[in-house]
Structure 1
């Protein structure tokens, strides 16, 4: 199975990154895509991916939280990073009108520039959206047919949001949010509506530890080794055989990110 969104450059992994990766392999995670959220993290993600060729891959992008730092120099640096074959997508990019760490105007500018870069380089986009679905769809729609692929990662929206995403052929990433009875229970029904060839799975580690895991891990840090639990939760919600579901999402993720069969683990 492939974890399409993991923040392995986060400081919470600094002391035991090699062990975290080894545990993921042991748990059956066959590849991971390390998320780039700003220039420094995108560079670090690429460096880490290069240390584990054919197992780790990365994205290069600037998150809407950091959109206030985006300029033409940033764009050129992302373009340079994306030349490396280990970089499999542009992002994490998009809109976040929930926290607005950057102004909506700054977010929209950074998002559009990264969409245009993805079209130029013919790379998929790895996207973020919170409380901005309508504007997100409006900005993205003109680019969708020009892009090789596009995924809204860590989907947490409602059925209307999901339908708008599927209408423009987006892929959907589901995280351990679905395991949170306080705010993610609605996803147990919504995942049934996602076509098999549009659904991918992720942990978004170290965030979003699945709350329903038993026994509950001692640490609040989420890890890629918990991806099988997320896969099992989604498969059961979709009334699918777990092994078949994992195989489907793995094939979908390989095709989306243009990666071959990973090293045997």
Structure 2
């Protein structure tokens, strides 16, 4: 299929160690280490220290997946925001981009990023689902967007499709989040 490189993204502290190990032994794999917002209630100071330690490895290309998820509220919102701030600052110290997770939290998430505007090192919005206005704010902060197969769901994604059409090609990535978010007609 012509795939030359895989970027493997961590979810929690255990998967940070695993993706870093995988990237050390597989030359076609790069790692992204960080703590997902769903894990915010369980994240400890030593976990952030471990993310920083792993983040210094050359095979680790970014910090994440970090951000805010208010869809299910599986973690306290204040803990999510605290951890998001910490990981943004960590990425800045390491001069690494960030992989952003945003679900039903767009306004607060972009406000947090704007608070850090001077220290941001860019990155990508994983599974971008925003509208044109959100896209414009993300691009202004130096981010790219990654779109999943859900962009093909014509009945629900008119605003997303409009944003994707407006995105400069050099800031647009295509992703998979297998087995979820498959394109139509493979949904479900």
Q: Tell me if structure 1 keeps the 8 A contact 2:63–2:98.
A: yes
1:174/1:201 contact within 8 Å kept: yes
Corresponding residue SS for 2:63: strand
**Larger radius of gyration, structure 1 or 2?**
1
2:13 matches 1:39? yes
Aligned to 1:252: none
- TM-fit CA distance, 1:37: 0.9
Q: Deviations over 1:155-200 (max 9, x none)?
A: 0122232222223232111111112235335433221111122111
Q: Which structure has more strand as a fraction of its residues?
A: 2
Structure 2 distance, partners of 1:74, 1:142, is: 24
- Match of 1:33, SS state, is strand
Cα distance in 2, alignment partners of residues 179 and 140 from structure 1? 28
Match of 1:68 in 2: 41
Q: For 1:166 and 1:148, how far apart are their aligned partners in 2?
A: 12
1:109 matched to 2:97: no
TM-score (normalizing by structure 1): 0.66
**Residues 32, 62 of structure 2: 8 Å contact kept:** yes
Alpha carbons 1:179, 1:185 under 8 Å: kept = no
For 1:168 and 1:86, the matched residues in 2 are separated by 25
Query: In structure 1, which of residues 156, 159, 163 is the aligned counterpart of residue 129 of structure 2?
Result: 156
What TM-score does the superposition give when structure 2 sets the normalisation length? 0.92
**Match among 11, 14, 23 for residue 49 of structure 1:** 23
Deviations 1:2-45 (A, max 9, x none): xxxxxxxxxxxxxxxxxxxxxxxxx1112111011111111111
* Inter-partner Cα distance in structure 1 for 2:96 and 2:126: 16
Structure 1 stretches of at least 4 aligned residues deviating more than 6 Å after TM superposition: none
C-alpha displacement of 1:205 = 2.2
Work out the CA distance in 1 between the residues paired with 2:161 and 2:185. 13
- Whole-angstrom distance in 2 between the partners of 1:153 and 1:44: 20
1:196 is aligned, of 163, 169, 176, to 169
Change (3 A) 1:171 1:144: farther
Q: Give the structure, 1 or 2, with the largest relative contact order (CA under 8 Å, sep 6 or more).
A: 1
Contact 1:92 1:127 (8 Å CA) reproduced: yes
Q: Identify unmatched segments of 5+ residues in structure 1.
A: 1-26, 221-265
Distance 1:86 1:182 in 2: 40
3-state DSSP of counterpart to 2:99? strand
Give the alignment of 1:189-228 within 5 angstroms: 189-212=162-185
Aligned length: 188
| Deviations 1:190-218 (CA, angstroms, capped at 9, x unpaired) | 211111221112112232122235xx8xx
